[in-house]
């Protein structure tokens, strides 16, 4: 059953039942009030007649006068008929039967429905001069019951009209109330069908329906964002697998080809050395590629153990480890590091700086300068590498942290690169609570770096400091 039908049924039942029972209760209460008033009127008339007859009897009037008074009071009085005398004077058979059982000073009353209509009869028993005298009052209530029946017939017509009018009004109201829920349901089906941009209009106000629409749209926004993120992650994974396959296939094909040539042919010494050199170079590149991939997998963890080290000592270690790179590429490596105690994972940071220096050297030409710098900045310690090489365009700069992305693929491969170094550096920087930032312009070089935390000041006895 639809929600609109449930609302209509519940509201319609409540309206009809409430109006019907309430109207019937009001009609019945009015009828009972009128009935009680007529019964009290009959009782008052009977009491007055009894008192008057007793007064006449006690006055000692002649018989003819007493009889005249009796006849006078036995006439119609206030919508009721009365009778005074013995049992034979009573007009109703039921009254005569009940009067025989009455004692002096007692009374009998009854509401009766006869063929002639509804009547209310009251009989009082008096003892006058040693004889029982009965005073009968009969009130005709047929008109009262007829009015009640007419009122109920009229009310049934009114109730029918109210039921018809309320059905139309409640149908419109229930449809209006259920319409926002239908929109939410339709939007949910569309989203399930792939229309992730589907939203529902939000009505003004703070009722439950408006809040439901807002919450639904917020949920839809979150779902769309997550799906987009999952899609982007899937695309990155697909690109990663494709690039990884390509990076493996190319050197392996060459290695197998040169190895087969060395195995199958008796080559001159120069060609053998050339083939062996190519196999060695491609093998080293595959080794580097595998190590970088292993590092990326290892760095999937979300935290690492940070240790206090002296920044200047760390930079000195990097300078020593990368000195051969400067000689290999013919660049001048300059290290400028302010003394400071920083919280880092020494091995990872040295790997990061090594990769940045390696990339800077590869991007530079012979005679250019590469600067490794460490300085205090905004409450943290900034470690950066600057080169003055060819630089990068903005569209290249936005993708350099992606695995396997290379600005100059041919040159990178000739230099043993696979496009994984900066992706590794990004992970390392993130583990230290910092982004890996880049600034570059074509023809002006590139600046890359991250910010490390400062170690707290030493307190108490000096502790042994970790050597990078």
Q: Does 311 lie in the same domain as 248?
A: no
CA distance 161 to 16: 11
Would you state the pLDDT for residue 274? Answer: 83
CA distance 50 to 64: 19
Span of 61-70, 96-105, 170-179, 388-397 with lowest mean pLDDT = 61-70
Would you state the pLDDT for residue 285? Answer: 62
Mean pLDDT of 290-303: 59
**Tell me, what CATH number does 367's domain have?**
3.30.565.10
Q: Does 345 lie in the same domain as 264?
A: no
**How would residue 48 be classed by pLDDT, with cut points 50, 70 and 90?**
confident
| 315 within domain boundaries | yes
Last residue of a domain, one of 153, 169, 195: 153
Last residue of a domain, one of 128, 153, 178: 153
| 217 within domain boundaries | no
Q: What is the mean pLDDT of the chain?
A: 78
Q: Which of 67, 71, 97 is nearest to 82 (CA)?
A: 71
- Does pTM surpass 0.95? no
DSSP string, 414-465: HTT--S-HHHHHHHHHHHTT---EEEEETTTEEEEEEEEEEPPPP-SSPPPP
Phi, psi of 133 (to 5 degrees): -120, 135
Q: Does 246 lie in the same domain as 367?
A: no
Phi-psi region for residue 61, left (φ > 0), alpha (ψ -120 to 50) or beta? beta
Would you state the pLDDT for residue 402? Answer: 54
Mean pLDDT of 36-53: 86
More confident site: 316 or 127: 316
| 146 within domain boundaries | yes
Range of the domain at 258: 223-279
Q: Does 340 lie in the same domain as 271?
A: no
Mean pLDDT of 248-271: 78
| 74 within domain boundaries | yes
What total number of domains does the chain contain?
3
**How would residue 450 be classed by pLDDT, with cut points 50, 70 and 90?**
very high
The angle that helices 311-329 and 346-363 make with each other, rounded to 10 degrees, is: 30
Would you state the pLDDT for residue 16? Answer: 83
**How would residue 301 be classed by pLDDT, with cut points 50, 70 and 90?**
low
3-class secondary-structure state, position 386: strand
Would you state the pLDDT for residue 250? Answer: 55
Q: Record the tokens describing residue 116, joined without a space.
A: 């002639």
| 170 within domain boundaries | no
**Tell me, what CATH number does 45's domain have?**
3.30.450
Q: Does 360 lie in the same domain as 443?
A: yes
Mean pLDDT of 95-124: 86
| 184 within domain boundaries | no
3-class secondary-structure state, position 202: coil
Last residue of a domain, one of 262, 279, 296: 279
Q: Does 9 lie in the same domain as 105?
A: yes
**How would residue 381 be classed by pLDDT, with cut points 50, 70 and 90?**
very high
Q: Which residues pair with 184 in a beta bridge?
A: none
Mean pLDDT of 33-38: 92
Q: Does 140 lie in the same domain as 55?
A: yes
| 335 within domain boundaries | yes
Would you state the pLDDT for residue 306? Answer: 87
Mean pLDDT of 371-390: 93
Would you state the pLDDT for residue 264? Answer: 85
Would you state the pLDDT for residue 454? Answer: 93
Q: Does 334 lie in the same domain as 448?
A: yes
**How would residue 239 be classed by pLDDT, with cut points 50, 70 and 90?**
low
- Residue 368 DSSP class: -
Q: Which of 109, 99, 179, 97 is nearest to 137 (CA)?
A: 109
More confident site: 342 or 428: 342
Span of 15-19, 256-260, 459-463 with lowest mean pLDDT = 459-463
Span of 45-49, 255-259, 455-459 with lowest mean pLDDT = 455-459
| 320 within domain boundaries | yes
Would you state the pLDDT for residue 1? Answer: 59
Would you state the pLDDT for residue 451? Answer: 94
**How would residue 334 be classed by pLDDT, with cut points 50, 70 and 90?**
very high
More confident site: 288 or 131: 131
Q: Does 113 lie in the same domain as 74?
A: yes
3-class secondary-structure state, position 135: strand
Q: Record the tokens describing residue 403, joined without a space.
A: 């695995």
3-class secondary-structure state, position 132: strand
Mean pLDDT of 93-119: 84
Q: Does 323 lie in the same domain as 397?
A: yes
The helix (run of H) or strand (run of E) holding residue 300 is: none
The answer on pLDDT for 370 being more than 90 is yes
Would you state the pLDDT for residue 401? Answer: 54
More confident site: 371 or 348: 371
């Amino acid at each position: 059953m639809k929600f609109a039908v449930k609302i209509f049924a519940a509201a319609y039942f409540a309206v009809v039942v409430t109006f019907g029972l309430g109207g019937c209760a009001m009609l019945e209460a009015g009828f009972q009030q009128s009935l009680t008033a007529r019964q009290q009127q009959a009782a008052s008339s009977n009491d007055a007649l009894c008192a008057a007859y007793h007064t006449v009897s006690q006055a000692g009037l002649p018989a003819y006068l007493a009889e005249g008074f009796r006849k006078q009071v036995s006439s119609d009085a206030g919508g009721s008929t009365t009778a005074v005398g013995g049992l034979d004077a009573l007009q109703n058979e039921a009254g005569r039967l009940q009067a025989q059982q009455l004692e002096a000073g007692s009374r009998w009353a009854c509401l009766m429905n006869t063929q002639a209509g509804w009547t209310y009869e009251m009989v009082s028993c008096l003892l006058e001069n040693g004889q029982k005298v009965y005073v009968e009052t009969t009130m005709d209530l047929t008109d009262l019951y007829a009015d009640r029946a007419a009122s109920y017939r009229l009310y049934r017509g009114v109730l029918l009209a109210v039921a018809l009018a309320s059905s139309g009004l409640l149908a419109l109201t229930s449809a209006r109330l259920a319409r926002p829920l239908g929109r939410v349901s339709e939007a949910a089906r569309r989203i399930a069908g792939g229309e992730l941009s589907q939203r529902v209009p939000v009505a003004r106000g703070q009722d439950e329906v408006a809040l439901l629409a807002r919450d639904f749209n917020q949920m839809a926004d979150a779902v769309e964002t997550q799906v987009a993120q999952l899609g982007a992650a899937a695309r990155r994974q697909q690109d990663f697998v494709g690039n990884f396959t390509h990076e493996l296939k190319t050197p392996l094909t060459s290695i197998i080809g040169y190895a087969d040539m060395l195995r199958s042919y008796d080559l001159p010494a120069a060609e053998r050395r050339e083939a062996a050199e190519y196999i060695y170079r491609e093998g080293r590149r595959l080794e580097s590629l595998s190590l970088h991939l292993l590092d990326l997998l290892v760095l999937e963890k979300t935290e690492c153990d940070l240790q206090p080290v002296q920044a200047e000592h760390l930079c000195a270690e990097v300078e020593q480890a990368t000195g051969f790179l400067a000689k290999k590429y013919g660049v001048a490596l300059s290290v400028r590091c302010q003394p400071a105690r920083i919280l880092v994972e020494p091995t990872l940071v040295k790997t990061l700086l090594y990769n940045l220096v390696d990339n800077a050297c590869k991007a530079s030409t012979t005679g250019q300068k590469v600067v490794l710098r460490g300085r205090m900045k905004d409450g943290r310690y900034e470690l950066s590498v600057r080169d003055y090489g060819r630089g990068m365009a903005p569209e290249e700069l936005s993708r350099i942290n992606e695995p396997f992305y290379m600005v100059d693929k041919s040159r990178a491969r000739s230099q043993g690169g696979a496009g994984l170094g900066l992706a590794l550096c990004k992970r390392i920087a993130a583990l230290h609570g910092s982004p890996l930032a880049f600034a570059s312009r074509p023809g002006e070089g590139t600046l890359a770096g991250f910010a490390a935390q400062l170690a707290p000041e030493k307190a108490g006895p000096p502790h042994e400091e970790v050597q990078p």
